[in-house]
Amino acid sequence: MAAHRRPKQPSRARVTVLTGAAATAVALSAQVSAHAAPAQPGKDEVKAQVDRLMEEQERAAEKYNGAKERADQLRKQADQLQDQLARGQQQLTELAAGLAAVAGDEYRQGGIDPSVRLMLSTDPDEYLTRATSFDRAAGTQADTLKALKDQQRRLDQQKREAADVLAELDGQTQLLNGAKNDVQAKLRESQQLLGRLSAAEQRAVLDGDGAASRSAERVDPSTLPPASGSAAVAVRVALEQQGKPYHWSATGPDQFDCSGLMVYAYAQAHVSLPRTSQEQATVGTNVGDDWHNAQPGDLVIYYGDRHHVGMYIGNGMVVHAPHSGDVVKVMKVDAMPISVIRRV
């Protein structure tokens, strides 16, 4: 009968090595898993990042609006200067032709000394008449020459002005393109962040805090304190846009950005507002930054750099176009830091 041998026990050193190897394998496995499946950011973290991107996008959009407004002005100015240059060149050509005609007459009549021509003339009266005409022609020549020089100076000045305008237009076009690229980059980045959330979480992030949701009922103007004059028209028109989507650089009638909504609403009251929220922060009368002093129709400008604007409608509320992915809606007037309130 075979003897039963006890299995050989591993040495303590061998156990230590194996245990260490197992621990190392577990640690490496955890690291690989961590790299393979990074932790997804939570809704609050995504919201904070998206809010920052939306704010930066709106700043870039208002920069774009300002650059576009200035570029449009410069383009119109350049067209006017080109028209003036064309007309000025035509006048210069006509003056030069007139001067050449006068010089030709002088040459044909001035071949010999006037006193000699008088002595040789068989009809002194006729000569004196021609001499008077010659003097008038000489005077006309001097006047034409002066007009020619003046017109040339004006033309040169217009050419310099046109060159300056075109140079500024080129700079504005570059600024315009840069701001547009910034807006689009911020929008792409925010969309990538939102893509990590469920549809319900995305809606919650875009709706924001202190603001009505997309499905909220429209505010009834009859429940608001009355406005008067152009402000009454602007408030009514702005509220009629509730539910229409935000789109950067849009001034209606189907899409709006924040300052575009103000421009559109007041335009229906035959009041022209500047295009950007920064410029709108300088119109009308300064009401300060305490919303308790606001009246319906006042423009409420937000943030230190004044990149957002809403319209006060009463009852502590403004109507505004918030940001990409949202719609025109009402929010509490103090949901954002107020910079200044302007009465149009």
- Helix (H) or strand (E) run with residue 308 in it: strand 308-314
Residues 257, 245 contacting (CB under 8 angstroms): no
**What is the DSSP-derived secondary structure letter of residue 111?**
S
User: Is 4 designated active site?
Assistant: no
User: Rounded to the nearest 10 degrees, how much is the dihedral formed by the CA atoms of 203, 209, 214, 217?
Assistant: 150
CA end-to-end distance (rounded Å), the chain: 113
Contacts of 49 (CB under 8 A, 6+ apart): 41, 190, 193
Residues 57, 248 contacting (CB under 8 angstroms): yes
User: Is 258 designated active site?
Assistant: yes
Which listed residue (4, 292, 308, 323) is catalytic? Answer: 308
Residues 344, 230 contacting (CB under 8 angstroms): yes
Pairing of strands 338-343, 329-332: unpaired
Q: What number of other Cβ atoms are within 10 A of residue 14's Cβ?
A: 10
Question: What does the DSSP assignment read for 113-126?
Answer: -HHHHHHH-S-HHH
Q: What is the CA radius of gyration of the chain?
A: 39
Which listed residue (4, 35, 258, 323) is catalytic? Answer: 258
Q: Indicate the length of the chain as a whole number.
A: 344
User: Is 320 designated active site?
Assistant: yes
CA distance 171 to 71: 9
From the list 111, 110, 106, 109, the residue with the least C-alpha distance to 141 is 106
Which listed residue (35, 247, 307, 320) is catalytic? Answer: 320
Q: Give the rounded distance of the alpha carbon of 134 from its chain centre.
A: 63
CA distance 111 to 124: 18
**What is the DSSP-derived secondary structure letter of residue 250?**
-
Sequence-ordered alpha helix ranges (H) in the chain: 12-36, 43-109, 114-120, 124-194, 199-207, 229-240, 258-267, 277-280
Q: Which residues are catalytic?
A: 258, 308, 320
